[in-house]
Chains A and B, each alone.
Chain A
Amino acid sequence: MRRYLAYLWREFRGEILVLPGRTILFSATAILLILPLLYPHPYLLRILALTFIFAIFAASWDLLSGFVGQLNLGHAIFFGVAAYASAILNLRLGLPIIITIPVGAVAAVVAGLVVGIPCLRLKGQYLSLATLAFPVILMGLVFMFTEFTGGELGVSGLTRLAPTRLHEYYISAFVGVLSILAIWKITDSKLGLVLHAIREDEVAARASGINTSQYKLIAFCLSGLFAGIAGGLYAHFMRIAGPQSLSMLTSFQAIIWTIFGGIATIYGAVVGVFVLFPMLEVLRVAPEIRLLLYAAIIVLVLRFMPEGLAPWVVDRLERECPRCKEHNAFTRRECRVCGTPLRVPLQKTPVSGEHMSGGEGLSASQEGG
């Protein structure tokens, strides 16, 4: 037991305390998990629970769009499909939450396939703009089958996520933390490596034998899965699934949060939600200019931190070792892994062209590269 604790402490020091960024994330998570026990204000709980739910949503967008580079402008489709699926199952068939949310997530995975397959052949901006279409098309269907979907009003009166606010909060928080960790692990795994390779150079990835179509579909499905979890939680938390969940602004929210926080980092997406969503609530003190201030703050921050908030902060707190690319706290003088000094300016090295000795090299008359 003591040895196990000692082991944990060593791991904790070695993995978390070494980097300021990780320390901040860890303490923030700890505070978020403990604070509500000490101060269970229903309004605060409501905001924080929603923040966790949206954090899953944003992180799932970052997985697909930031990490795999399939810039999805219609992410709301996953959220909306899961929300509607959970709501309809719950209300029309009376199924409990433990079934509706997973089934909703599965529905979102299917939506991932439906969106992903036509998008396989599309590249760059074409892909982005095509994905934008799917939620709008689905919205058209929602308005077509009003007796089933409730049309403008949506499907309301769902079972609560849990009997009390505190329970609801902890369910959202735990599912949130687990989902985000899972997404983080995915990006860190071998699968993540492949996905990253696809973003960097799809042709090269394909040339080295990777079935890029299959991996892109996997990315769509995984992203759909997590967005679906968020959508199901949201529907039960708000006790309604309406067309709002499919709107363009819902998609844009995920993009705004993630890019504001820092794209292709996962933690950036989460930071973005935790800064912006509560901020939007605080701005309720000035209801007239609430959205105006919100948009203006985002525009101004991005104008000066184009990579997003979290990478900007990390850049100031940590520095990358030029040799092994490990991160180090800004206080260190040499790299904690390889010992390379961190402060000296880098030596510039001439690029080495092909070696010219021994008669090869420039051809006298034949075609060069």
Chain B
Amino acid sequence: MLGNLLVSTLMSASVYAMLAVGFSLTFGVARIINLAHTAFYMVASYIIFTATMKMGLPLYVGVVAAVSLVVLLAMVTYKVLVDPMREHETTVLILTIGVALVLQELMFLWFGGYFRSVPTAVEGFTTLLGVRVSYQYVLTICVLIVTLALVWLLLMKTRLGLAIRATAQDREIANVMGMSDSRTATITVGIAAALAAIAGAIVAPLFIIEPRIWLSPLTVVLAISVLGGLGSLKGSILGAVIIALSENLVVFLVPQGAFFKGAFSLLIMIVVLLIRPEGLYGVAFEEER
């Protein structure tokens, strides 16, 4: 029971953290609320599906294809649609909803509304903390955690990471220090999309694929990044753990809890905001003219 709770919390926490970190980075550097963020996750799942089920390619080829195509898609969308509109904050909001809807409808058009699934990479089970866990599950969690650690290293230890963190603080001064903000923003959008795509690709074998699977993670990601503090990485990861834990608790403790786990995580978000209006680690942008 406890083991079950721990394992599934770890799973959802790492998926959510992958999504929320990307969302937060995009918000911090490009200063946009990207409501299409989880749609990229959905598209990645479909690319995996196409590669493995339709074209019979091995899984890892599917993953590579998914990540690179989604990154390309995200960067082009950003450059062509969003970047020129950046000053019109509300318009950008609608543009990202529009992009998400376009992607959803394209998937409906090409794949129909059926539930799809893809094969697992590895077979078999092991016993962890007294729970029977499939190897696929373990593999997924490991890949997610390793990816997160790599992103953390990228941000904290590299030159690009420094540019991303500085731009997220003060775009103008970052420019003065020689960091082109538009270049940094485009790269960040790419990294965020890559994270979403990896999440989508890696968990695809464990979940069903359907064109609307972006909606419910979107609410969760929004809740996490608000709760952790918009633009904060630490906040996103901590928020992901909090939300994942509370969701799983509800599912485990309350009969029919699965129905309102989304509602419950948002309730937690509201409570946190009542105490800390800027979330746990809110970033205050330097005022820019």
> Which residues of A are in contact with B by a Cβ distance under 8 Å?
65-66, 71, 118, 121-123, 125-126, 128-130, 132-134, 136-141, 143-144, 248, 252, 255-256, 259-260, 263, 288-289, 291-292, 294-296, 298-299, 302-303, 306-308
Query: Which of B98, B219, B278 meets A248, CB within 8 Å?
Result: B219
Enumerate chain B residues within 8 angstroms of A295, measured Cβ to Cβ: 98-99, 101-102, 105
New contact pairs (16) apart from A129-B230, A295-B105, A307-B88, CB-CB < 8 Å: A125-B27, A126-B226, A126-B282, A129-B226, A130-B270, A136-B262, A139-B263, A256-B98, A291-B101, A292-B106, A295-B101, A298-B94, A299-B95, A299-B102, A302-B94, A308-B91
> Secondary structure of the B side of the interface?
helix
Contact status B81-A303, CB under 8 Å: yes
Contact status B278-A255, CB under 8 Å: no
- Tell me, in angstroms, the Cα distance from A338 to B227 when the chains sit together: 53
A-B contact pairs, 30 of them (CB 8 A): A65-B90, A125-B33, A126-B230, A126-B278, A126-B282, A129-B226, A130-B270, A133-B269, A133-B270, A137-B263, A138-B263, A140-B263, A140-B264, A252-B97, A255-B93, A256-B97, A259-B90, A259-B93, A260-B94, A291-B108, A292-B109, A295-B102, A296-B102, A298-B94, A298-B98, A302-B98, A303-B81, A303-B85, A303-B95, A306-B88
Contact status B106-A143, CB under 8 Å: no
Query: Which of A133, A139, A263, A291 meets B90, CB within 8 Å?
Result: A263
Contact status A144-B222, CB under 8 Å: no
Enumerate chain B residues within 8 angstroms of A129, measured Cβ to Cβ: 33, 222-223, 225-226, 230
Asked if B114 is at the interface (CB within 8 A of a chain A CB), the reply is: no
- Tell me, in angstroms, the Cα distance from A66 to B101 when the chains sit together: 23
The winner among B98, B219, B225 for most chain A CB atoms within 10 A is B98
Shortest beta-carbon distance from A153 to chain B in Å: 14
Enumerate chain A residues within 8 angstroms of B264, measured Cβ to Cβ: 140
Query: Which of A125, A256, A299 meets B230, CB within 8 Å?
Result: A125
CB-nearest residue of chain A relative to B89? Answer: A71
Asked if B215 is at the interface (CB within 8 A of a chain A CB), the reply is: yes
- Tell me, in angstroms, the Cα distance from A367 to B106 when the chains sit together: 62
Enumerate chain B residues within 8 angstroms of A144, measured Cβ to Cβ: 259-260
Enumerate chain B residues within 8 angstroms of A255, measured Cβ to Cβ: 90, 93-94, 97
Asked if B279 is at the interface (CB within 8 A of a chain A CB), the reply is: yes
Enumerate chain A residues within 8 angstroms of B108, measured Cβ to Cβ: 291-292
- Tell me, in angstroms, the Cα distance from A129 to B270 when the chains sit together: 10
CB-nearest residue of chain A relative to B98? Answer: A299
- Tell me, in angstroms, the Cα distance from A256 to B100 when the chains sit together: 13
- Tell me, in angstroms, the Cα distance from A66 to B274 when the chains sit together: 24
Shortest beta-carbon distance from A141 to chain B in Å: 7
CB-nearest residue of chain A relative to B258? Answer: A143
Asked if B119 is at the interface (CB within 8 A of a chain A CB), the reply is: no
Contact status B219-A136, CB under 8 Å: yes
In chain B, positions 84-136 with a C-beta closer than 8 Å to chain A are: 84-85, 88, 90-91, 93-95, 97-99, 101-102, 104-106, 108-109
A-B contact count (CB 8 A): 124
Query: Which of B85, B218, B270 meets A118, CB within 8 Å?
Result: B270
- Tell me, in angstroms, the Cα distance from A63 to B88 when the chains sit together: 18
The winner among B81, B105, B264 for most chain A CB atoms within 10 A is B105
Closest 3 CB pairs of A and B: A140-B263, A140-B260, A133-B266
CB-nearest residue of chain B relative to A248? Answer: B215
Asked if B277 is at the interface (CB within 8 A of a chain A CB), the reply is: yes
Contact status A118-B273, CB under 8 Å: yes
Contact status B230-A137, CB under 8 Å: no
Asked if B267 is at the interface (CB within 8 A of a chain A CB), the reply is: yes
Query: Which of B33, B85, B105, B215 meets A291, CB within 8 Å?
Result: B105
- Tell me, in angstroms, the Cα distance from A122 to B230 when the chains sit together: 13
Enumerate chain A residues within 8 angstroms of B98, measured Cβ to Cβ: 256, 295-296, 298-299, 302
- Tell me, in angstroms, the Cα distance from A238 to B200 when the chains sit together: 38
Contact status A126-B279, CB under 8 Å: yes
- Tell me, in angstroms, the Cα distance from A129 to B277 when the chains sit together: 12
The winner among B104, B225, B226 for most chain A CB atoms within 10 A is B226
Shortest beta-carbon distance from A87 to chain B in Å: 21
- Tell me, in angstroms, the Cα distance from A118 to B269 when the chains sit together: 12
CB-nearest residue of chain A relative to B218? Answer: A248
Contact status B259-A130, CB under 8 Å: no
- Tell me, in angstroms, the Cα distance from A222 to B274 when the chains sit together: 23
Query: Which of A123, A138, A139, A288 meets B109, CB within 8 Å?
Result: A288
Enumerate chain A residues within 8 angstroms of B215, measured Cβ to Cβ: 248
Enumerate chain A residues within 8 angstroms of B273, measured Cβ to Cβ: 118, 122, 126, 130
Shortest beta-carbon distance from B96 to chain A in Å: 9
Query: Which of B90, B262, B269 meets A71, CB within 8 Å?
Result: B90
- Tell me, in angstroms, the Cα distance from A140 to B269 when the chains sit together: 15
Enumerate chain A residues within 8 angstroms of B99, measured Cβ to Cβ: 295, 299
Contact status A130-B226, CB under 8 Å: yes
In chain B, positions 6-55 with a C-beta closer than 8 Å to chain A are: 27, 33
1/0 per residue, CB under 8 A from A, across B257-289: the answer is 001101110110110011001110010000000
In chain B, positions 230-262 with a C-beta closer than 8 Å to chain A are: 230, 259-260, 262
- Tell me, in angstroms, the Cα distance from A305 to B260 when the chains sit together: 39
Contact status A137-B266, CB under 8 Å: yes
- Tell me, in angstroms, the Cα distance from A134 to B109 when the chains sit together: 32
- Tell me, in angstroms, the Cα distance from A130 to B222 when the chains sit together: 9
- Tell me, in angstroms, the Cα distance from A139 to B262 when the chains sit together: 10
Contact status A259-B230, CB under 8 Å: no
Enumerate chain B residues within 8 angstroms of A306, measured Cβ to Cβ: 85, 88, 91
